[in-house]
Amino acid sequence: MDENIDKLLKHKVSWLANCGPDDDIAISSRIRLARNLEGMPFPVAAKIEILNQARGAIELAVRNTACFKKDPVVFELEKLSELDKQVLLERRLVSEEFIEDGQGAGIAVSDDEIFGIMINEEDHMRIQAMKPGCQLSEVWDAVNAVDDKLSEELPFAFDSNLGYLTSCPTNVGTGMRASVMLHLPGLVLAEQVDAVIHGVSKLGLAVRGIFGEGSNNLGNLFQVSNQSTLGESEAQIIERLDAVIKQVISHEKNARHSMLEKKQNFLLDHVGRAYGVLRHAYRISSDETLNSLSALRLGVDMGMFSSVDIQTVNELFVIIQPAHLQKYAKRELDSEERDTYRASLVRDRLRSIDNNKH
């Protein structure tokens, strides 16, 4: 068990703080920058000695530059249990690909989890910043400041014509992936989400699930991100993505208002049934819980509850996932045990809210 994992678990996830612009629909904004060290082979082609050398240099640079302002929380992936790796994934600090092969890999995270660096994933560095709501420009300023500080100490692989050189050709150029996670239950219920996704895709943007490429849109959560990194500046990419995100948010708001006006009983039934399941179920899977929490969050955002608060719903989105659940239970649980414990945890949280409000 890694004590740094336990430190993370004591804090609420910062990107779910519910204090950003349009945070009823835009859950969080994230930007990742792919960077490699000049003169070193990409991680996929590097021997363990080179990977360890790169990791050591990057960890030292993070500390020396104070780019996170405070000392980073550092993990060596090969020393983490599978459960601890999953905790990092559930908190969106790492990718699924990253935790599959931990040889020479590491993570540096700021204590508030706004900043993170995956070391020796596909590239030597994936520098990340996340903030709640729709605030891509603010996230860009934050991650760019970290990038600038690290570049003063580390020689980045850069070509004057192509830009930043990366392991995957699709990241060459800016090396930037910007995304906003959106909660779109209105569009899903109105059966309009496929048309919106199709329209967004035609504009050269990608739409993925909660954990990125290959993941499902559980809880009606969708990540919209840029696909091209070459031929546009960072500012142009962010401006284009931000404009599309604002359009999707507008479509979601219209879908919600339309349902409230024309299908009020359908909407109330959808939210009420979800609340009933969460409040009274004795066994519930993570998928069903996420989808029920999505309906509950919709109800809270639309003012249908006087007792349930959005902070509790947001917190439940994270802590009901398998790894977090087992950390709270302080033991490993099989699938059936997790479903039982998850139901108990959700019931207790919602019951405590009801009791405190009366």
Q: Tens-of-pLDDT digits for all 358 residues of the chain?
A: 578 888 888 888 877 777 777 889 999 999 999 999 999 999 999 999 999 999 999 999 999 999 998 889 999 999 999 999 999 999 999 998 898 877 899 999 998 999 999 999 999 999 999 999 999 999 999 999 999 999 999 999 999 999 999 999 989 999 999 999 999 999 999 999 999 999 999 998 999 876 555 446 689 999 999 988 888 899 999 999 999 999 999 999 999 999 999 999 999 999 999 999 999 999 999 999 999 999 999 999 999 988 888 888 988 999 999 999 999 999 999 999 999 999 999 999 998 876 665 4
pLDDT at 68: 93
Q: Give, rounded to a whole angstrom, the gap between the first and last alpha carbons of the chain.
A: 40
pLDDT at 194: 93
User: What does residue 266 show for φ and ψ, rounded to 5 degrees?
Assistant: -60, -45
Question: Which residues, including other chains, have CB under 8 Å from residue 65's CB and lie 6 or more apart?
Answer: 149, 150, 152, 153
pLDDT at 211: 56
User: What does residue 332 show for φ and ψ, rounded to 5 degrees?
Assistant: -75, 140
pLDDT at 107: 95
pLDDT at 307: 81
Closest CA to 317 of 292, 336, 334, 299: 292
Closest CA to 32 of 149, 137, 118: 118
